[in-house]
């Protein structure tokens, strides 16, 4: 099973913990930090599940859930709400708006993953219902199920670490990733790596995906921060 999960959580540490837990379970994940970004990501990515923090900025989780349930394109996308608010009225409102499950903070990551598996099975999305699991951006396509990469329609051979880095960057084009964040993507494939090893992975990926690796147009350096994949989705 490989599902694509959208994590809408304004707490960066909590979001990263969920993302890493999902990757360990074999899923892919996209992280956003406010309500409008969550709605935009649902529209663009059509995820299999939304893990939705209630206390999001701009549009809260209730508002996001209300919009999702009124969306004719995919009104049944599963939603698992997370919140520090455990009042019965909040729980009931979330469920009435169409949330499939509801967890209060603090929670166990293992329990959260178990709940996610249950919601995916209940919604029929754990059995490969997604028609197209391929993530695309900047002329790059990454298939997390078949573990394949294409660039401009041509197959690209990647190491396991390169694959995980490219998958993360393709899922969130224009996001700037620090070396540490990209290093975390390779955990389980390259345990001996250091943050400087990320530079080598990026250099190798540029050789495989750029017309001129010395003047990259896709995998860009953001000086003093890290790297990003530029070029837009598609």
Supply the DSSP string of 3-31, one letter for each residue: -EEEEE-S-HHHHHHHHHHHHHTT-EEEE
**Residue 212's pLDDT band (boundaries 50, 70, 90)?**
very high
Asked whether 103 and 82 are in contact (CB, 8 A), the reply is yes
Q: Is the pLDDT of residue 9 over 90?
A: yes
- Does residue 135 or residue 192 have the better pLDDT? 135
Q: Are strands 140-143 and 148-151 parallel, antiparallel or unpaired?
A: antiparallel
Q: Is the pLDDT of residue 220 over 50?
A: yes
**Residue 101's pLDDT band (boundaries 50, 70, 90)?**
confident
Phi and psi at 199, nearest 5°, equal: -60, -40
Asked whether 50 and 79 are in contact (CB, 8 A), the reply is yes
The whole-number average pLDDT for the span 31-52 is 89
| Rounded Cα distance, 224 and 209, in Å | 23
**Residue 125's pLDDT band (boundaries 50, 70, 90)?**
low
Of the segments 73-87, 197-211, 219-233, which one has the largest average pLDDT value?
A: 197-211
| Rounded Cα distance, 35 and 20, in Å | 22
**Residue 216's pLDDT band (boundaries 50, 70, 90)?**
very high
Of the ranges 15-24, 85-94, 186-195, 223-232, which one carries the lowest mean pLDDT score?
186-195
Collapsing DSSP to helix, strand or coil, 140 comes out as: strand
Other residues' Cβ atoms within 10 Å of the Cβ of residue 74: 11
What is the model's pTM? 0.58
Q: What is the pLDDT of residue 35?
A: 93
Phi and psi at 54, nearest 5°, equal: -70, -40
Q: Is the pLDDT of residue 189 over 80?
A: no
Identify the sign of the CA torsion 128, 234, 76, 104.
Answer: positive
| Rounded Cα distance, 34 and 54, in Å | 10
| Rounded Cα distance, 73 and 45, in Å | 12
Q: What is the pLDDT of residue 102?
A: 85
Q: Is the pLDDT of residue 234 over 60?
A: no
Q: What percent of the chain has pLDDT over 90?
A: 32
| Rounded Cα distance, 189 and 149, in Å | 17
Of the segments 15-24, 94-103, 120-129, which one has the largest average pLDDT value?
A: 15-24
């Amino acid at each position: 099973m490989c599902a694509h999960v959208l994590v809408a959580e304004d707490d960066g540490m909590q979001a990263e913990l969920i993302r890493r837990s999902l990757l360990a379970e074999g899923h892919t994940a996209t992280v956003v930090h406010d309500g409008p970004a969550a709605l935009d990501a649902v529209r663009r990515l059509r995820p299999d599940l939304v893990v939705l923090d209630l206390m999001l900025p701009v549009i809260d989780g209730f508002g996001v859930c209300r919009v999702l349930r009124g969306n004719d394109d995919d009104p049944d996308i599963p939603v698992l709400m997370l919140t520090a608010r455990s009042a019965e009225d909040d729980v009931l409102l979330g469920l009435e708006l169409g949330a499939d499950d509801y967890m209060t903070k603090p929670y166990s990551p293992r329990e959260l993953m178990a709940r996610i598996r249950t919601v995916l099975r209940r919604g029929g999305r754990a059995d490969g219902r997604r028609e197209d699991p391929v993530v695309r951006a900047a002329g790059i396509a990454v298939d997390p199920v078949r573990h394949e990469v294409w660039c401009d329609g041509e197959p690209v051979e990647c190491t396991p670490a390169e694959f995980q880095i490219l998958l993360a960057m393709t899922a969130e084009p224009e996001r700037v990733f620090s070396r540490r964040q990209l290093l975390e993507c390779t955990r389980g494939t390259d345990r001996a790596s250091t943050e400087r090893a990320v530079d080598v992975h990026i250099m190798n990926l540029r050789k495989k995906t750029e017309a001129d690796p010395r003047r990259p147009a896709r995998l860009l350096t953001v000086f003093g921060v890290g790297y990003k994949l530029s070029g837009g989705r598609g």
